[in-house]
Amino acid sequence: MENPHAFANAERAAVYKAIFSRRDVRGQFLSDPVPDDLLARLLLAAHHAPSVGFMQPWNFLVVRSTTVKQRIHDVFQAANSEAAAMFPDEKREIYSQLKLQGILEAPVNLCITCDRSRSGPVVLGRTHMPTMDLYSSVCAVQNLWLAARAEGLGVGWVSIFHEKALQDALGIPPHIVPIAYLCLGWVSQFKDRPELETAGWLPRLAVEDLVFHEQWETRDLPENAGLTAALSALGQAARRP
């Protein structure tokens, strides 16, 4: 049946291409500036993310100053040294070789935050799941990330910070939650596979092993055999070099 709401084939393929070729970029940033009109498109895409109760809890803090970037980098370095000591020896060896941020290299840094007080204490859809506003802000991150990939722009999410130290470095009030600190810029390449996968940190899990039917950990229902087979075929195709 033809679906009048479906995208044209090329448009649909482009959406999936952005999803499957999106990468967390660390060390491939170029110094070329990001045009303001492009950055504006990305921010508008982020702002059009879904949000619980339409509260739109996000703010976007754009960082271009070398001084501020250095301050953030210092905050990262302090946390990163602590993080390295938390892993067992075999993982620590890999960890020490990973490039985990591009704070100083990326021409634009962006902190996306969540104002949990926006629109008042009672929010439609958040009455019984209070974390929904945080998840809404993560949707804004994903919107921006996919739009950036479609534009050929790299994004790297840096999460190795003490939250209060990051707030202090950026002057963020205590009640505002930093959701994502992102590095944005043109890149020398987009790798075929995620860096942590190629480095041997962890493998990609098989999607068919992660899907349950009707109840938790129920997998082998006869009526869902078709979906299981389709997931397996697609997963195997995606894992092929």
Q: pLDDT by residue (tens digit) across 6-44?
A: 999 999 999 999 999 999 998 789 999 999 999 999 999
Q: Does 17 reside within a domain?
A: no
- Contacts of residue 182, Cβ cutoff 8 Å, sequence gap at least 6: 109, 110, 111, 112, 141, 144, 145, 155, 156, 157, 158
User: Is residue 217 domain-shared with residue 196, that is, in the same domain?
Assistant: no
User: Is residue 191 domain-shared with residue 219, that is, in the same domain?
Assistant: no
Helix axes 66-84, 89-97, angle to 10 degrees: 160
**Which among 171, 187, 202 is the end of a domain?**
202
Q: Does 84 reside within a domain?
A: yes
User: Is residue 218 domain-shared with residue 186, that is, in the same domain?
Assistant: no
User: Is residue 82 domain-shared with residue 164, that is, in the same domain?
Assistant: yes
User: Is residue 61 domain-shared with residue 81, that is, in the same domain?
Assistant: yes
Dihedral, 125, 127, 131, 135 alpha carbons, nearest 10: 10
- Residue 32 backbone dihedrals phi, psi, to 5 degrees: -60, 140
Q: Does 117 reside within a domain?
A: yes
Q: What is the largest CA-CA distance in the chain?
A: 60
Q: Does 57 reside within a domain?
A: yes
> Which residues of the chain register pLDDT less than 70?
240-241
CATH number, domain of 53, equals 3.40.109.10
pTM of the model: 0.93
User: Is residue 99 domain-shared with residue 152, that is, in the same domain?
Assistant: yes
Q: How far is CA 241 from the centre of its chain?
A: 23
- Amino acid 12: pLDDT: 95
- Amino acid 89: pLDDT: 83
Evaluate whether 77 touches 100 at the Cβ level (below 8 Å): no
- Amino acid 240: pLDDT: 67
User: Is residue 189 domain-shared with residue 175, that is, in the same domain?
Assistant: yes
Q: What domain range includes position 229?
A: 205-241
- Amino acid 185: pLDDT: 97
Q: Does 14 reside within a domain?
A: no
Helix H segments across 64-131? Answer: 66-84, 89-97
Helix H segments across 151-213? Answer: 163-170, 195-198
Q: Does 132 reside within a domain?
A: yes
User: Is residue 133 domain-shared with residue 184, that is, in the same domain?
Assistant: yes
Q: How many domains does the chain have?
A: 2
Evaluate whether 72 touches 181 at the Cβ level (below 8 Å): yes
- Amino acid 134: pLDDT: 98
Q: Does 116 reside within a domain?
A: yes
User: Is residue 143 domain-shared with residue 223, that is, in the same domain?
Assistant: no
Helix H segments across the chain? Answer: 9-21, 36-47, 66-84, 89-97, 132-150, 163-170, 195-198, 225-239
User: Is residue 163 domain-shared with residue 105, that is, in the same domain?
Assistant: yes
User: Is residue 169 domain-shared with residue 235, that is, in the same domain?
Assistant: no
Q: Does 188 reside within a domain?
A: yes
User: Is residue 235 domain-shared with residue 119, that is, in the same domain?
Assistant: no
| Other CB atoms within 10 A of residue 34 CB | 19
110 DSSP β-pair partners: 62, 182
> What single-letter amino acid sits at 192?
D
Q: Per the structure block, which two tokens stand in for 235?
A: 């997963």
58 DSSP β-pair partners: 114
- Amino acid 99: pLDDT: 86
